[in-house]
A and B are shown apart, each in its own frame.
Chain A
């Protein structure tokens, strides 16, 4: 799969969709000191000291250090690395949800990030969430009506009864994740980023989503996938970025990088 996507394209037709240029991301955490956030005096002194800048009581966490890469149209890129290596942070920066400290991220259109904790509207029914999610992504009412059944079928929410008419807060975490993925995947994104969202679904759903990821790639989008399952990376991605401690350790074809990664992590 990887070969015919890259090989079939003549020189110069590789269209970049995401360019990360020496990206650094720094988190500022309030009240990381001994006196915790909950203490009233600490909070008060924080407010009083505000005018002196962010120097006191604020700890900096340098989460991503100088990552550069270019992603092309039609690529599916896996991000691997141990917990806390900066994968999710990097994706959020690409999606424009986190400011970069240094360097820039250029993207084609608006990337969409699909994370595990992206609860939509818990007090509304699944049905309403599908419609509102679609409208928020900029789909028209007709488009949503047309795809509604596909979205519901894809999510598999109704396989065990009529759950789509229940409020989303009553869903299990797996059901919620599946519906969110189904909504986000209904639109053809230029750049779609999936942050471990597939891990919560069952095997059947994972197979369906991997299928959908391949489709999205064919429709000339770029897909990023964060996963701790090497198998799903192997099944869907043709290129892998290996992040460790915020630095890009390796960038190359799936097999090569995964082999090195597995050797390193002893699996």
Chain B
């Protein structure tokens, strides 16, 4: 090609790039810039989560009815096994135990599904990641948001169950709003961490169900930790009660169930809930951002 001599001749590629403001392809933006980009994609994050939510049951004949039926069936199964067969509700009135169990199951599942979808958020959307450019954190955040919307359906079921067992709506119910906001922040942080780990080691998707099940049994989803562990050293119960899943479950139980008093909560439980949310939320975001340029490669 016969190009007329230009003032750019003789510049090294790096100098030429600098002169025209070109940047190194695939470089990771700064943290503040990353947050700004992410904010720019907020409509994408919201729309993606809603689309995933409706697509979830699009192949089922009953369609969106499953949004409500799934949590209901879950509650029934757990009640049949732990409430009737194993009698895990020892030391609790049935009027408290059933809402206690169902709340625990729903709240724990919120964290569980956020983690599980977080693990697969990058590896399961590689087509999207490789085709289009957007801040990758949009995906785990969006999937955590999908789980939050899923939880709202479960909450409707929960409200009915709680009311059937004699706890009626009161001002205390409003406490579930801050509790869920904190749990959502915690879940999102966890989903971001799992997204980065899962993008590098897809095997985690096989491993996580076992980790989550262990976590569930250790968090007192179907039994009261202080009652079950009363003859064990006190520190075991303390540790279990301050684990984030137990903290968020207890807060929501406390808000909803009349017979579940603050004696059942560990000290400074709101502070613990806040700390878990802020620490895991921020750490997860930074941890995810650190590998931003590497997602979808290889």
Contacts and interface: CB of A to CB of B under 8 A. Distances in A.
Interface of A: 6, 11-12, 14-21, 27-28, 68, 70, 93-99, 104-108, 110-115, 117-121, 123-124, 128, 131-133, 135-138, 140-141, 167, 180, 184, 239, 252-253
Contact of A12 (B6, B43, B55, B134): B6
A135 B130 contact: no
Nearest to A22: B13
Interface of B: 1, 3-8, 12-14, 16-17, 20-27, 40-41, 43-44, 47-48, 51-52, 55, 58-59, 125, 127-128, 130-134, 138, 293-294, 296-298
Nearest to B129: A97
A15 B1 contact: no
B7 A12 contact: yes
A68 B130 contact: no
A123 B4 contact: no
B41 to A, nearest CB: 7
Contact of B26 (A95, A117, A123, A135): A95
A121 to B, nearest CB: 7
B17 A99 contact: no
Contacts of A70: 13, 16
A118 B7 contact: no
Given A136-B132, A180-B131, A124 B25 contact: no
Contacts, number: 141
A113 B130 contact: yes
A131 B47 CA distance: 9
Given A21-B13, A70-B16, A97 B130 contact: yes
B131 A118 contact: yes
A97 B21 CA distance: 20
B205 to A, nearest CB: 15
Contact of B131 (A18, A107, A114, A167): A114
A234 B17 CA distance: 29
A137 B128 CA distance: 11
Contact of B25 (A11, A14, A111): A111
Nearest to B4: A11
Contacts of A120: 127-128, 131
A98 B52 CA distance: 28
A118 B130 CA distance: 7
A124 B296 contact: no
Given A96-B293, A106-B22, A16 B44 contact: no
Contacts of B21: 108
A138 B55 contact: no
Given A11-B5, A137-B133, A137-B134, A118 B127 contact: yes
Given A21-B12, A131-B47, A253-B1, 13 more contacts: A14-B3, A68-B13, A96-B293, A99-B26, A104-B13, A106-B13, A118-B131, A123-B59, A124-B51, A135-B41, A136-B44, A136-B134, A138-B40
A106 B23 contact: yes
A70 B12 CA distance: 11
Contacts of B41: 135-136, 138
A132 B27 contact: no
A108 B134 CA distance: 16
A18 B27 CA distance: 14
A171 to B, nearest CB: 13
Contact of A121 (B17, B128, B130, B138): B128
User: Which of B6, B13, B132 has the most CB atoms of chain A within a 10 A radius of its CB?
Assistant: B132
Given A70-B16, A97-B296, A115 B130 contact: yes
B51 A128 contact: yes
Contact of A115 (B13, B128, B131): B131
A252 B23 CA distance: 25
B236 to A, nearest CB: 32
Contacts of B20: 15-16, 108
B216 to A, nearest CB: 27
A105 B25 contact: yes
Contacts of A124: 51-52, 55
A27 B297 CA distance: 10
Nearest to A95: B25
Contact of A11 (B6, B14, B58): B6
A253 B296 CA distance: 34
